[in-house]
Amino acid sequence: MVIALCTVAAVVIAILASGTDDEPASAPSTSPTSSASATVAPSPSASPSVTPSSDAVALEPGELIATSTVDELGLYERPGDEAPMDSYGPWSAYGSPTTLMGFATQSIAGTEWIQVELVGSPNHRQAWVRADDVETSSTDVAVHIYLEERELELMNGDDIALASEVVIGAPESPTPPGTFFLTDPLDFSSNPSGVYGAYALGTNGYSETLDEFNGGDPQIAIHGTDQPELMGQNISNGCIRVPNDIVLELADAMELGTLVIVHASR
């Protein structure tokens, strides 16, 4: 299911091996290919949250996943704008196809537009992309995390496919709430004894209290752990830790764009 990251993953593994805790370290500086630029999140000042007009059609989370099919995915402040305010390359910083979650659609002068949530800090920024620049899909799979209960549930439609106790963020580095989605699956199953366990499932969400982690972006992930005895505690830098057997099951079930919904409580 998960896209192989080849040499990029090897670089990331080397970087993460030097880490001391649970957030993804800085991304590799090399692009997946010589012609593919790494994704760069637009600056906060250039990325306002845009409210759709009355003609826009709202989408349920998971109803539309947008994966870039172009070398430069334009990010527009408003549907119908002639020039983008920023752009994403075809790959994430960890080598996965650039994938975003759609929240609304709108047609203007015969062109279809999709309102998407962006990657990075501050969380839940939105912009618009041209539908012609992406391939769309949908999913009924979602991961629900309940912070107060320290619990995770993998849902397939209305069915609970998997449940687990988790570790959540410490009071000084809490796990941010809201609807996020999978952007970067990283396979560490060849060395599952590391601090990230057998897999790290990076999301588009970032810590809301840390500006950086180990010299890189403080990206929020669901990942395995070499300390499963700590389940149920709130001691991470914001990431969600699960036992290695659980994270492997999650990795098998989660495609790019899979919802990760963080609730304060049930």
* Dist. CA 89–CA 63, nearest whole Å: 23
Average pLDDT (112-129) is: 96
Q: Are 228 and 197 in contact (CB under 8 A)?
A: no
CB 217 within 8 A of CB 135: no
Q: How confident is the model at residue 44 (pLDDT cuts 50, 70, 90)?
A: very low
DSSP three-state, residue 131:
helix
Going by pLDDT thresholds of 50, 70 and 90, the confidence category of residue 37 is very low
| DSSP tag of 213 | B
Q: Higher pLDDT residue, 39 or 264?
A: 264
The domain 6-32+140-263 is placed in CATH, from the list 2.60.120.460, 2.40.10.10, 2.40.440.10, 3.40.50.300, at: 2.40.440.10
Domain boundaries, the chain: 6-32+140-263, 44-137
pLDDT over 80 at 187, yes or no: yes
Element (H, E) at 31: none
Please give the backbone phi and psi of residue 14, each rounded to the nearest 5 degrees, phi first: -65, -40
Residue 235 predicted with pLDDT over 90: yes
Report whether pLDDT(54) > 90: no
Q: What is the pLDDT of residues 133-162, one digit of tens each?
A: 999 999 999 999 999 999 999 999 999 999
3 state SS of 245 = helix
Checking if the pLDDT of 20 tops 90, the result is no
Q: What is the pLDDT of residue 28?
A: 34
Give 137's strand partners.
Answer: 65
pTM: 0.81
Collect all residues with Cβ–Cβ distance below 8 Å to 249 and sequence separation of at least 6. Answer: 154, 162
